[in-house]
Chains A and B, each alone.
Chain A
Amino acid sequence: MAELRFTEEHEWIRIDGNEGTIGISDYAQEQLGDIVYVELPAVGASLFQGDEAAVVESVKAASEIYAPVAGEVTAVNDELNGDPGIVNQDSMGAGWFIKMKVENTSQLSELMTEQTYKDMVEGLK
């Protein structure tokens, strides 16, 4: 069963077996506002946990997206090149950024559950 985890920096990772799909949370897209550009890594890139995985730019600001866990990039969401606004419309679904082959699924235990993340965001409001 797919398992959803969040980072304190508002990335999410959905794990299915050893494949992880990564994006940004709904709270993050809402705070960033209109997203106009997403820079994605090369397929095949090896990322350590915490490495810069992508860059998301809203109308005026650039923010970095970090790899929640270590692994190899197996796919990037090319749809975002043509229409980065997908991230605003569906940040938890069609607005995903990258897929990774996760090196060590035990790193997931360092991340937040959906409920913990929701509580954290509630505290930010």
Chain B
Amino acid sequence: MFPSRLRARMTTGRCALVTAVVGPMSDLDPEPTKKTPLHGLHMSLGAKMVPFAGYDMPVQYPAGILAEHIHTRAHAGLFDVSHMGQIRLSGPRAAQDLQTLVPGDITGLAIGDMRYTLFTGNDGGILDDLMVTKVDDGLLLVVNAACKHADFAHLKKSLPSTSAVEMLDDRALLALQGPEALTVLAKLAPEVSGLTFMKAAEIEVAGIACFVSRSGYTGEDGFEISMAADRARELATLLLDASEVEPIGLGARDSLRLEAGLCLYGHDIDGTTTPVEAALSWAIGKRRRIGGGFPGSDVILAQLRNGAPRKRVGVQAEGRAPARDHTEIRAPGGEPIGEITSGGFGPTVGGPVAMGYVTSRFTEVGTPVELVVRGKARPANIVKLPYTPHRYVKTI
């Protein structure tokens, strides 16, 4: 069964063998060296660790991916996302300057506003996706772990010296996600109930200075909490003490975000996909659509006007066999029309879930397609994303 046979078959995939033996994640490095401030806590909780983007990270705890996923949607889950890059831009023109690199409306942000945006390349491709929050003296950015050094170099190279770029290596990042996240966090810091989705503030949590945003990567209500690395274990332990909270690994993080229809960089979006193709046009600011002025804006704005040749959509198999990344998508009859970019089993859906790119003629919800799994074409349909409705708290 494995590992030797699987290795032979899976040489085309970057990570399949390790996937089978240890868990579902990719972006593996051969020699993981770095540890987050919570590494010792993960070990003491019995986590199964895997290399991910240069860090030794928990893919699952003893409860397992299914139970962790279900728990997060029902109660609250705690995720260590300290491997992600936290970058501060400071200076009076930080927003104007960052806006030359992203299609989001950054100058329109008020203090405490958070926005999802993208670094784009000159050809319109996506270099990374990120969260930007406006603060007193500039902007705080959260970028993907695997891209953080490239993003930092990109900012350093592209921004004028009046906007200082600083990698906050001494910060940790926790995500508390799920319908009971608010109850748990508000016991330690009542002010968090004043935040709505995509708002952030400096808030002291149990005596620890934190930067808290109401945001996440699961589709659930929840918070992301940045704090000094040396206070992270203390706060994580306090949160885990709450009966509602269980630790959640990268495995369930992936299945949660997939059901929520959220993109994973390097899979659903990368340098070859534009924001319009990725169905992320909503992240292009209204004013930016007229003015342009970000890398690749000519390509991207032309696609906004005229349509893109392909688009990211949900693709749901009719049967039980999950279609994994790189599964071929065909029109009924056999014409190749695209590829799955994220696919697997959705624990909340209770069956296969996937998304991928199809040529524009096939993007309409309800269009029948075929997924080629193990050489066999299997019926599937284009479906609306997300699979599980978002439960963001947008008003109080």
Contacts and interface: CB of A to CB of B under 8 A. Distances in A.
Question: Are the chains A and B members of one assembly?
Answer: yes
B322 interface: yes
A63 B1 CA distance: 6
A65 B374 CA distance: 13
Nearest to A10: B1
A8 B2 CA distance: 8
B314 interface: no
Contacts, number: 82
Contacts of B9: 64
Interface string A39-74: 100000000000000011111111111100000000
B5 A34 contact: no
A72 to B, nearest CB: 21
A111 to B, nearest CB: 13
Interface in B1-56: 1-6, 9, 16, 19-24
Contacts of A60: 19, 23-24, 65, 251, 254-255, 324, 344-345
Given A34-B64, A37-B321, A57-B321, A10 B19 contact: no
Interface stretch (A13-21, A25-33, A100-108, A112-120): A25-33
A59 B321 contact: no
B286 to A, nearest CB: 38
A61 B320 contact: no
A64 B354 CA distance: 21
B60 interface: yes
Contacts of A37: 320-322, 345, 352
Nearest to A56: B1
Contacts of A33: 23, 60, 64-65, 251
A57 B254 CA distance: 16
A73 to B, nearest CB: 17
Interface residues of B, number: 31
A76 interface: no
A59 B65 contact: yes
Contacts of A61: 16, 19-20, 24, 324
B164 interface: no
A92 interface: no
Nearest to A53: B1
A32 B16 CA distance: 12
A34 B20 contact: no
B6 A63 contact: yes
B66 interface: yes
B347 interface: yes
Given A32-B20, A60-B251, A8 B322 contact: no
A2 B194 CA distance: 67
Give the interface centre of B5, B19, B22, B347 by most chain A CB atoms within 10 Å.
B5
Interface in A59-102: 59-66, 81
Contact of B1 (A9, A36, A39, A59): A9
Nearest to B60: A33
Give the interface centre of B2, B67, B322, B324 by most chain A CB atoms within 10 Å.
B2
Contacts of B251: 33, 59-60
Top 4 A-B pairs ranked by shortest CB distance? Answer: A60-B24, A36-B345, A34-B66, A61-B20
